[in-house]
Amino acid sequence: MAKSRAATPPKDYESALAELDTIVAEMESGQLPLEASLTAYKRGAELLQYCRQQLANAEQQVKILENGSLQPFRTEDADE
């Protein structure tokens, strides 16, 4: 796990999620030394917070577009 990666903010939600997936895989492998595991955990927590904030921002935008109330998601199949 590169130290520079920990200081770099994610480019977007998708890249943050991809990096988080990589960190989880590295940690689950059990091959990281303790210090690297702690660094990976910290970076993962930062990425998780970033992703949650991006989702909250998107939800807020949808509420604004839906005149203040979040509407249920409907697929074409649900209308039939």
| CA distance linking residue 34 with residue 5, whole number of Å | 18
Q: What are the pLDDT digits (tens) for 36-53?
A: 999 999 999 999 999 999
Angle at 79 between CA 68 and CA 69, to 5 degrees: 5
DSSP structural state of residue 35: H
Other beta carbons less than 10 A from residue 19's beta carbon: 19
Count Cβ atoms below 10 Å from residue 10 Cβ, excluding itself.
18
Q: What mean pLDDT do residues 27-33 have?
A: 94
Q: What is the pTM of this model?
A: 0.72
Burial class of residue 43 (count of CB atoms within 10 Å of its CB; 0-12, 13-18, 19+):
buried
Superfamily of domain 12-79: Exonuclease VII, small subunit (1.10.287.1040)
